[in-house]
Structure 1
Amino acid sequence: MQEPWHHEKWWVSEYNFAAPVRNQLQLPEKIVVHDATLRDGEQTPGVVFRLEEKVAIARMLDELGVDRIEAGMPAVSEEDAQAIKEIVNSGLRAKIMAFSRAMPADIDRAVACGVWGIILEIPTGYPKLKYQFNWTEEEIIDKSIRAINYAHDRGLYVTYFPFDTTRARMDFLKRLFDEVMRKAKPDSIAVVDTTGSATPTAMGYLVREIKKMVSVPLEVHTHNDFGLGTATTLAAVEAGAEVVHGCINGLGERAGNTALEEVLLCLEALYGYKLQIELSKLAVISQKIAGMAGQPLAGNKPVVGTLPFTREIGLGMEVLQKSPLAIFPFLPETVGKKMEIVMGKKTGKGSVKVKLEEMGLKASEEEIEIIVQRVKAKGIAKKGILSQEEFEEIVNEVLIKKL
Structure 2
Amino acid sequence: MRECTGEVIITDTTLRDGEQAAGVVFSLGEKMAIARMLDSIGVQELECGIPAMGEEERASIRALVDMGLSARLITWNRAAKADIEASLDCGVNAVDLSLSVSDIMIERKLRKNREWVRNQLKEALGFAKQHNLYVSIGGEDASRADIYFLIELLEITKAFGGDRFRFCDTLGILDPFSMHEKIRALRRAVPDMDLEVHTHNDLGMATANAIAGARGGARFVSTTVNGLGERAGNAALEEVVMALRHACGTDCGIETRRLGELSRLVADASRRVVSEWKPVVGERVFSHESGVHADGVLKDPSNYEGFDPAEVGLSRFFVAGKHSGGSGLAERYRQLGISIGKGEASVLLKKVRGLAQQLKRPLDDRELIDLYGCFSCRLHAA
- TM-score normalized with structure 1 length: 0.89
Distance 1:216 1:390 in 2: 61
Say whether 1:185 aligns with 2:161: yes
Structure 1: gaps of 5 or more residues: 1-23
Say whether 1:29 aligns with 2:6: yes
Query: Which shifted more, 319-328 or 188-197?
Result: 319-328
Say whether 1:271 aligns with 2:248: yes
Aligned residue for 1:288?
265
Aligned residue for 2:171?
195
Shift of 1:174: 3.4
Of 13, 16, 36, the residue aligned with 1:39 is 16
Letter matched to residue 102 of structure 1: A
**Does the CA contact (< 8 Å) of 1:51 and 1:80 recur in 2?**
no
Shift of 1:402: 5.3
Distance 2:341 2:312 in 1: 37
Aligned residue for 2:214?
237
Say whether 1:325 aligns with 2:268: no
**Does the CA contact (< 8 Å) of 1:363 and 1:399 recur in 2?**
no
Q: Does the C-alpha gap of structure 1 residues 357 and 243 become closer, same or farther in structure 2, counting only changes over 3 Å?
A: same
Which deviations, in whole Å up to 9, do the C-alpha atoms of 1:263-308 show, x marking residues without a partner? 1111122222232210111011001111111111122211111332
Which deviations, in whole Å up to 9, do the C-alpha atoms of 1:355-375 show, x marking residues without a partner? 232334344544323321221
Distance 2:2 2:154 in 1: 24
Of 46, 53, 63, the residue aligned with 1:86 is 63
Shift of 1:330: 0.6
Aligned residue for 1:223?
200
**Does the CA contact (< 8 Å) of 1:31 and 1:244 recur in 2?**
yes
Q: Does the C-alpha gap of structure 1 residues 369 and 271 become closer, same or farther in structure 2, counting only changes over 3 Å?
A: same
Say whether 1:143 aligns with 2:120: yes
**Does the CA contact (< 8 Å) of 1:157 and 1:187 recur in 2?**
yes
Q: Does the C-alpha gap of structure 1 residues 75 and 277 become closer, same or farther in structure 2, counting only changes over 3 Å?
A: same
Which deviations, in whole Å up to 9, do the C-alpha atoms of 1:45-72 show, x marking residues without a partner? 1111111100110001001110001111
Q: Does the C-alpha gap of structure 1 residues 268 and 28 become closer, same or farther in structure 2, counting only changes over 3 Å?
A: closer
Aligned residue for 2:232?
255
Q: Does the C-alpha gap of structure 1 residues 316 and 136 become closer, same or farther in structure 2, counting only changes over 3 Å?
A: closer
1:3-402 equivalence runs, <5 A: 26-27=3-4, 29-182=6-159, 184-214=160-190, 215-400=192-377, 401=379
Distance 1:39 1:317 in 2: 41
**Does the CA contact (< 8 Å) of 1:187 and 1:217 recur in 2?**
yes
Aligned residue for 1:8?
none
Shift of 1:139: 0.7
Query: Which shifted more, 204-213 or 53-62?
Result: 204-213
Query: Which shifted more, 207-216 or 357-366?
Result: 357-366
Identity %: 33
Query: Which shifted more, 214-223 or 32-41?
Result: 214-223
Q: Does the C-alpha gap of structure 1 residues 319 and 142 become closer, same or farther in structure 2, counting only changes over 3 Å?
A: same
Distance 1:232 1:402 in 2: 60
**Does the CA contact (< 8 Å) of 1:247 and 1:260 recur in 2?**
yes
Distance 1:284 1:276 in 2: 17
Distance 2:376 2:58 in 1: 63
- TM-score normalized with structure 2 length: 0.94
What is the DSSP-based 3-state SS (H/G/I as helix, E as strand, rest coil) of the residue aligned with 2:285?
helix
Distance 1:210 1:308 in 2: 37
**Does the CA contact (< 8 Å) of 1:356 and 1:362 recur in 2?**
yes
Distance 1:202 1:328 in 2: 30
Which deviations, in whole Å up to 9, do the C-alpha atoms of 1:93-122 show, x marking residues without a partner? 111111111111111111111112011101
Distance 1:25 1:162 in 2: 21
Structure 2: gaps of 5 or more residues: none
Distance 1:134 1:126 in 2: 10
Letter matched to residue 230 of structure 1: T
**Does the CA contact (< 8 Å) of 2:167 and 2:198 recur in 1?**
yes
Distance 2:109 2:165 in 1: 23
The number of aligned residues is: 379
Question: RMSD in angstroms over aligned alpha carbons?
Answer: 1.8
Aligned residue for 1:11?
none
Query: Which shifted more, 320-329 or 282-291?
Result: 320-329
Distance 2:5 2:337 in 1: 52
